[in-house]
Amino acid sequence: PFIICKSEENPGPMSYKCIKIEGEYYYGKHLMMTAVGCNEALMDIPTMKQFLVSLSDDIGMVRFGDPIVERFGEGEQTGLSGVQLITTSAITFHTNDQYRDFYLDVFSCKWFESSLVAEVVRTLFNPANITISDVLRQ
């Protein structure tokens, strides 16, 4: 359903758009995931740093620098925020400690499979439910 093209295959002012689906060129793919009712791994900073490293590698991204994960907030708003820069954009997340909910964004101008992201999240965090929205960014 998609083609990864070289910029010379899409000449003109939009040549940087190199994901082609049904004749349309796109700059990148943006996955937005909500996973609710996760296990306690979601609350552990070293685990979440390793998650960012592993996810990047599993979906074929090139990491830039080390992941950053910190805990913020107070009361029921407390949770972790994390980011892993990748050479084709970024992977970011926010969590909620009290409810063990997980909000993940993966944006890249390099194609990746959403099903792989879901598999990694299911395996590590065992959520009660996952919803995913994929947006092709023009």
7-44 pLDDT tens trace: 566 666 667 777 788 888 888 999 999 999 999 999 99
Residues facing 136 on adjacent strands: 29
If one counts the domains in the chain, the total is 1
Please report, for the domain that includes residue 87, its CATH number.
3.60.90.10
88-135 pLDDT tens trace: 999 999 999 999 999 999 999 999 999 999 999 999 999 999 999 999
38-84 pLDDT tens trace: 999 999 999 999 999 999 999 999 999 999 999 999 999 999 999 99
User: What does 15-81 look like in DSSP terms, one character per residue?
Assistant: TT--EEETTEEESEEEEEEEEES--GGGG-HHHHHHHHHHHHHHTTPPB-S--EEEEE-SGGG-EEE
Q: Which domain does 68 fall in, by range?
A: 28-137
Q: Is 118 helix (H, G, I), strand (E, B) or coil?
A: helix
